[in-house]
Amino acid sequence: MKGENKIDRLKIAVIFGGCSEEHPISIKSAQEVARYLDLEKYEPFYIGITRGGIWRVCDGPGPGWENNNSRPAMLSPDRSIHGLLVLEQGQYKTIRLDLVLPVLHGKLGEDGAIQGLLELSGIPYAGCDIQSSALCMDKSLAYIVVRNAGIATPNFWIVTADEDIEADLLPYPVFVKPARSGSSFGVSKVSRKEELAGAVETASEYDSKVLIEEAVAGSEVGCAILGNGQDLIVGEVDQIRLSHGFFRIHQESKPESGSENSTITVPADISPETRFLVQQTAKAIYRALGCRGLSRVDMFLKEDGKVVLNEVNTFPGLTSYSRFPRMMAAAGMPFAEMLDRMVSLLNL
């Protein structure tokens, strides 16, 4: 019976790495996926993308994956292939896939790029589609859509690196960030006008479009969401408490051991009524932006109880210290079950 089950296993490609600054975070996320993926249900194929954009099929996302028994591979946009082309002994071998987990974060992973390739290939994939991925990746566009849905966002301004900014008119403190990046890369908190030019220059290293955002007084809260349309599962709300600065755990040297300036509490230390409001707001944001599969909705909770959007991560981190799996686990859904749910949403 066990052998029969393995014959019927779904062939699943786990794509990780990528060209963005979040490359190492993606590898850590893929390692957790590999740890919890049920091999009785799935036959995994691990596809690592180097920082330079080279695709390699490998035994897994462990150390040395780029060299240890890895082979050149590519995802074919030809729907008759419906899977991978793997170079072996000078010839390309085809591997038909049932689905893809694009465990990629940031540019070319969460912005619709890999989703476009997967749409061309005809292979089902977990997570948001092209449109919602691109929309959520650009914080300014996400804010416009969410505002039109009647949900609060920070006040913001868009600038380019060579644009003259009327620094005297800004309501300090402000946050300066790349409009299309993640994990707090390129983000600066600016408390006075003399710091603004340097902050814009830093953000411009990650994106030509820079967002200046009015600081929102309050705590940061998040909500993990799994599902499509009206059928959504929400995790426990979490809450970030900062001693100083802003949340940047992915840039710290040993994030697995905790953060230098932040503490994450799951469940959040808030009333049941506020918890319900945060979850309902997160679901409304998720639907307004057209999200599907999964996303993590980050918000600010103001002292007056008002909830304000911060950003939406369309394929959030799944590392051992990431917020999304912790929120789901606190709601009674362990990691392996969470992966099963992602797959079940594809209705294969």
- Percentage above 90 pLDDT, the chain: 83
Q: What is the pLDDT of residue 181?
A: 84
- Residue 84 in this model has a pLDDT that exceeds 50: yes
Q: What is the pLDDT of residue 47?
A: 98
> Could you give the CA distance from residue 302 to residue 306 in angstroms, rounded to a whole number?
5
Q: What is the pLDDT of residue 3?
A: 44
- Mean pLDDT (whole number) for 190-201: 93
Mean pLDDT of the chain: 92
pTM value is: 0.91
Closest CA to 175 of 239, 245, 105: 245
- Percentage above 70 pLDDT, the chain: 92
Sign for the pseudo-dihedral over CA of 58, 63, 64, 66:
positive
Residue 126 banded pLDDT, cuts 50, 70, 90? very high
- Residue 247 in this model has a pLDDT that exceeds 60: no
Sign for the pseudo-dihedral over CA of 218, 224, 227, 228:
positive
- Alpha-carbon 343 to chain mean position: 17
Residue 244 banded pLDDT, cuts 50, 70, 90? low
Residue 248 banded pLDDT, cuts 50, 70, 90? low
Burial 276-314, CB ≥16 within 10 A → b, else e: ebbbebbbbbbbbbebbbbbbbbbbbeeeeebbbbbbbb
- Mapping DSSP onto H, E and C, the string for 83-146 reads EEEEEECCEEEEEECCEEEECCCCCCCCCCHHHHHHHHHCCCECCCCHHHHHHHHCHHHHHHHH
Q: What is the pLDDT of residue 4?
A: 46
> Could you give the CA distance from residue 328 to residue 233 in angstroms, rounded to a whole number?
9
**% helix, strand, coil for the chain, step of 5:** 30, 30, 40
| 30-74: pLDDT as tens digits | 999 999 999 999 999 999 999 999 999 999 999 999 987 899 999
> Could you give the CA distance from residue 26 to residue 318 in angstroms, rounded to a whole number?
8
Burial 108-142, CB ≥16 within 10 A → b, else e: bbbbbbbbebbeebebebbbbbbebbbbbbbbbbb
DSSP letter assigned to residue 168:
G
State how far the alpha carbon of 44 is from the alpha carbons of 39, 130, 232, in Å.
8, 24, 27
- Alpha-carbon 302 to chain mean position: 24
- Residue 329 in this model has a pLDDT that exceeds 60: yes
- Mean pLDDT (whole number) for 277-292: 98
* Strands 10-17 and 99-102, sheet pairing: parallel
Q: What is the pLDDT of residue 241?
A: 86
Contact (Cβ atoms closer than 8 angstroms) between residue 278 and residue 223: yes
- Residue 253 in this model has a pLDDT that exceeds 70: no
Q: What is the pLDDT of residue 158?
A: 94
φ and ψ at residue 225, rounded to 5 degrees? -130, 135
Q: What is the pLDDT of residue 257?
A: 56
Sign for the pseudo-dihedral over CA of 15, 318, 184, 300:
positive
Q: What is the pLDDT of residue 319?
A: 95
* Strands 55-58 and 174-178, sheet pairing: unpaired
> Could you give the CA distance from residue 342 to residue 3 in angstroms, rounded to a whole number?
25
What domains are there in the chain, each with its CATH number?
A: 2-125 (3.40.50.20), 134-152+217-344 (3.30.470.20), 156-214 (3.30.1490.20)
Reading phi first (left if > 0) and then psi (alpha if -120 to 50, else beta), residue 112 is in left
| 154-187: pLDDT as tens digits | 999 999 877 888 889 999 999 999 999 876 888 9
Q: What is the pLDDT of residue 303?
A: 92
